[in-house]
Chain A
Amino acid sequence: MPVIKKAESVLRKGRSGSAVNQGPDVWAKATGKAVYGTDLHFPGMLYGKVLRSPHPHARIKGIDTAGAYAVPGVRSVLTAGDIRNKSYGIVVEDEQPLAHNRVRYIGDEVAAVVAVDEDSASKALEAIKVEYEPLPAVFDPAEALLDEAVQIHDSCPGNIAWERDMERGEPERAFAGADLVVENSFSIPSVHPTYLEPIACVAVSDYMDNLTIHTALQSPDVVREIIAGALDLPLSKVRIIGPVMGGGFGGRVYGNLKLYLLSSLLSMHTGSPVKMRLTREEEFTVGRPMIAARMKVRMALRRDGTFLARESDIITDNGAYSAQAPWVSKTLSERNDSVYRIPNIKTRARLAYTNKVPTAQYRAYGNQAANFAYESLIDQAAEKLGLDPLQLRLKNCTHSGDVTVHGLDIKSCALSECLQKAAEKVGWNNRKEGCGYGISAGIHASGSLVANKDFRGASARAVLELDGRVTIYTGEQEYGQGAYGAFVQIAARTLGLEPQLLTIYCRDSLVTPHSQGALANRQTTIGGRAIQLAAEDLKILIEEAASEMTGEPVKMKGGSLAAASGKLIRFEEVARYHHHRTSGLTLTGEGRYVPPHTDYDETSYGNISVTYSFAAHAAEVEVDRETGALTVHRIVAIHDSGHIINPPGARGQIYGGVTQGLGFGCYEGYVFDRGKVANSSLADYRIPTALDVPRIDCHFIETDDPEGPFGAKGLGEVVQVPVPGAIANAVADAIGVRVTNLPITAEKIYRAMFKGECAE
């Protein structure tokens, strides 16, 4: 196949022939050889399916599973009464593997069936009889917070899953003394991460009571603990092995815990491997989209444009169960306060239960949702004050050395340069006739504290194998973002070896170091730093062993080992020398990176992250003045992610993230019809196609961060943050009125222009 060989060589070498590091599994993915969860097959494997509630809220009066057992090929049927059904949760323990007495949304898991194939399992589902007593349901999060609202969880009175009242400085005084106060209300729908591969898993419970779950996760080590806890298994008996991950975008941090738990229970009951996978429709109806948000925001300014204070009243829509929604709500409600110097903040945020699909997280963690609201409001203020939106931002933006209103310690920040560069590149002062221009600025934590304040860093091992190659053991996760490519580069650079001599071993909780996983922009910054330290450690160990072996000082440099006498030593020799001397151990460098100074107090004040990435995006758009049709011509994305380790990979992050930001801003969003997801297919839940993607100009302003490996900071999430706000501001610039609810569709623009709807 000469064509493929040629393509392979181009892909591997890069067009110019220079070494481009796309990560170890790029070629396997491009040729279809990569093995994903849905491809897995084990001898004797059975297939599981879930019976789901057709009601948004109902009492279960009885379940009759006899019919299901009569279907040929069915091996087991489980209901809540058949299992221990322990409560579990990530922040709030509000879920059980199967609904017990009550269902809380359309899709709630009522029974699980396992059979010899998926068709038999589906037939069995139809044969299960469930008697429901429908209960009143609540779908609107603001209504759910009213006193008279139906209560969804007895343990969470008032339907509040999480809430927060926060005040910094003296906001009331600042508002009273302001020259200008602007305000508006914004709404952002739930969005799905829409990874290409629907979630799939195979659970294998063996005769020694070990449970191995084969599934691709961003945070397998954290999920492993939740599963062991929910199933009452010793942690050491639970293992997670990851196939290749078909995208994650935050949606696979904890994936679909229900699916893992049910497949495990079915495997434990039958003694056979059990495969379960979500259909695309199930991804939308029972997968975990990001919370929807409504934001009422006010801002106080001095006449010269100085930001004085901001006040926000935020309601986020949790759906029926909580997962990470409290954490997402927290980031949504505070992260944007650190983009600018705003000394006084008042925020009330409430996460309300509703009888809708449960939520979780998505790339950028709600930061992009709030950014849309706050950046829109800044443009409103600029207009009122007669100031250039760019100058207003430059006047107030955060700089290196700042400690922000929430205590974030900003050690490196090129936001001001990003803003200026974005404006210059988009033609801010040299505008095309008929186009609208908008700009937006964002921050995202890189390596933030997540679930556990005491587990802040990462660890890694670097092993010199007997053949002279080096294997890096990491618990961090590759899901297409290029983490492993960057890791290879970091280790290769530290050891002075060619990247081809390095292998990454990963995705096996029994072997790889425990990690918090691929989230919080931490892979390169934190995981990469641990790999750098492990490689440094290995280098010292190799030099020591080689010196001992030869009896003279040996240095490792430029990919070779040279003794003081000039004699060259092969890596295999040193590896074998150590191996024999220790009766079988390998030279193993250990890297443990514990970031300094990350903590927060009970009001959440503190330096919550190792470092912070910044970005400014500018949009050039055109609006059809008759139909409202929006064409986004260009997004200019300027990023401060510190030193860029892998430039092609980093640009890829920007292209993908900006495209998703465009989807978030202009295309996507759940539509509900009395609690039922109305757009549960990729035909109706529209993400941008290749033809919808504008020209994306990206550029890096490289700061030298003191913490990240070689000065690197995270990039994967901040890329999406400024996009919806930049587009919203460009649309407002083009048509003179503002669309305040996402997505910004042609019809909404038309209504804003001609009907005065959604306008300020």
Chain B
Amino acid sequence: MSYTVVSNLDQAVEALAKSAGKARVVAGATDLFLGNLPSELVDISTVPDLLGINRDPDCLSVGAGVTHAGAAASPVIRLKAEALAEACREVGSPQVRNISTLGGNVVNAAPAADAAVALVALGAKAVLLDLSGGHREVAVEDLYANYNLSVVDSSSEILLRFLLAPAVRGEGSAFLRFAPREALSLPLVNAAARVRLKGNTIEAIRAVIAPVSPAPTRLNETEKLLLGSKPGQDTWRRVEYTAAAEVDVRGSMLRCSAEYRHHLVGVLARRVIRKALERALDSKEGGDGR
């Protein structure tokens, strides 16, 4: 087995090109030993281009090599993409969070990956680099080919960064998960939402739930129900019902029954949307320039 640590993107592209499809990109490697080991690995975890967190007025760029611990602690992410910071705080354990990366979390394509759920709710796009130097941008939810299978071919493509719109005034996001224990546990359900208000009316909303299909799943019907509305007390039962009804869930003898997971989808969808909404309201009142 060969293991190549590269220090810049040119070297990474060169190493992948040379291996002609045999090598795979690796960063945190926290899930590497769970499956069959590839014969060649190209470690990109120290490539400086992948480690930045940069904020323009219209765009927040988060490097694919940023660790979960790094994202959770980033003041910019906590302020401008709160759901992502919350999700990153919940991944695995401190040891895992210190080395696992956002890019790896998405390309690994686990259906319940916490950071991926937040990224989809925030409307993040992934920027990919191919071996000929070409770039493409793909919405994070479109990166999933199947369960645990990404459309990103890590023998010939490198995920560089995620781009998302930073939170503005009147906007809030949140992430919640429900798991059998407090750490090192896959969630039975995780959920994230981003809400933007105009006055008291919901002007934009993205609500996402997992694991109900290969990719983090938008709650389209629930979003429709809320878009353009002014949520009141009577709204929330309907949100819960709509969210639970619009997804198909599976039960498993080691996690929980399908019936219980359905129930959790409704409760978590309602809670996470409410939390995002409350934050949106707070940001209006706070007047801190968000």
Instruction: Give A contacts to B, CB under 8 Å.
Output: 626-627, 629, 667, 671, 673, 678-679, 683-684, 686, 688-692, 745-747, 750-751
Contacts and interface: CB of A to CB of B under 8 A. Distances in A.
A7 to B, nearest CB: 19
Nearest to A626: B267
A696 to B, nearest CB: 16
6 contacts: A627-B267, A689-B182, A689-B185, A692-B181, A745-B180, A750-B260
A684 B254 CA distance: 7
Interface of B: 93, 178, 180-186, 253-254, 256-257, 260, 263-264, 267
A747 B256 contact: yes
B254 A671 contact: yes
Contact of A750 (B93, B186, B254, B263): B263
B161 to A, nearest CB: 30
A627 B178 contact: yes
Contacts of B178: 627, 629, 746
B181 A667 contact: yes
Given A627-B264, A679-B254, A747-B260, A667 B180 contact: yes
Given A671-B254, A673-B253, A679-B254, A692 B182 contact: yes
A752 to B, nearest CB: 12
A450 B253 CA distance: 38
A747 B253 CA distance: 12
* Most chain B C-beta atoms within 10 Å of own C-beta, residue among A629, A667, A689, A747: A747
Contacts of A690: 183
Given A673-B253, A678-B253, A688 B260 contact: no
* Most chain B C-beta atoms within 10 Å of own C-beta, residue among A673, A678, A688, A691: A691
Contacts of A746: 178, 180
Contacts, number: 43
Given A747-B256, A750-B263, 9 more contacts: A627-B267, A673-B253, A679-B254, A683-B184, A684-B254, A689-B93, A689-B181, A689-B185, A750-B260
B183 A689 contact: yes
A745 B256 CA distance: 10
A407 to B, nearest CB: 42
A675 to B, nearest CB: 14
Given A627-B267, A750-B260, A678 B254 contact: yes
Contacts of B260: 747, 750-751
B270 to A, nearest CB: 9
Majority SS at the chain B contact face: loop
A684 to B, nearest CB: 5
B256 A686 contact: no
Contacts of B182: 689, 691-692
- Sorted nearest first, the 6 A-B pairs with minimum C-beta distance are A691-B182, A689-B183, A747-B260, A691-B183, A692-B182, A747-B256
A678 B255 CA distance: 11
A129 to B, nearest CB: 25
A626 B240 CA distance: 12
Contacts of A689: 93, 181-185
A75 to B, nearest CB: 28
Nearest to B267: A626
Contacts of B257: 747
A621 to B, nearest CB: 15
A376 to B, nearest CB: 22
B234 to A, nearest CB: 17
Contacts of B186: 683
A692 B185 CA distance: 12
Contacts of B264: 627
A321 B253 CA distance: 26
Contact of A686 (B93, B181, B253, B263): B181
B191 to A, nearest CB: 12
A746 B177 CA distance: 14
Contacts of A747: 256-257, 260
Nearest to B266: A626
A688 B256 contact: no
Contacts of B181: 667, 686, 688-689, 691-692
B243 to A, nearest CB: 14
A671 B180 contact: no
A303 B126 CA distance: 71
Contacts of A751: 260
Nearest to A679: B254
A281 to B, nearest CB: 13
A683 B183 CA distance: 11
B267 A686 contact: no
Nearest to A631: B182
A678 B260 CA distance: 20
A439 B180 CA distance: 24
A584 B257 CA distance: 73
A690 B93 CA distance: 10
A671 B253 contact: yes
Contacts of B93: 689
A692 B287 CA distance: 38
Contacts of B183: 689-692
Nearest to A667: B181
Contacts of B267: 626-627
A366 to B, nearest CB: 25
A686 B253 CA distance: 14
A520 B95 CA distance: 37
Contacts of A679: 254
Nearest to A629: B178
A745 B185 CA distance: 14
Nearest to A685: B254
Nearest to B34: A683
A50 to B, nearest CB: 23
B252 to A, nearest CB: 9
Contacts of A673: 253
A751 B260 CA distance: 9
A740 to B, nearest CB: 18
A650 B256 CA distance: 38
A673 B254 CA distance: 10
A688 B182 CA distance: 8
B94 to A, nearest CB: 10
Nearest to B186: A683
Contacts of B263: 627, 750
A691 B180 CA distance: 12
Contacts of B184: 683, 689
A629 B186 CA distance: 15
* Most chain B C-beta atoms within 10 Å of own C-beta, residue among A671, A679, A746, A751: A746
A671 B253 CA distance: 8
A746 B264 CA distance: 11
Nearest to A750: B260
A686 B264 CA distance: 20
A746 B188 CA distance: 11
A279 B131 CA distance: 41
Contacts of A750: 260, 263
A747 B93 CA distance: 24
Contacts of B254: 671, 678-679, 684
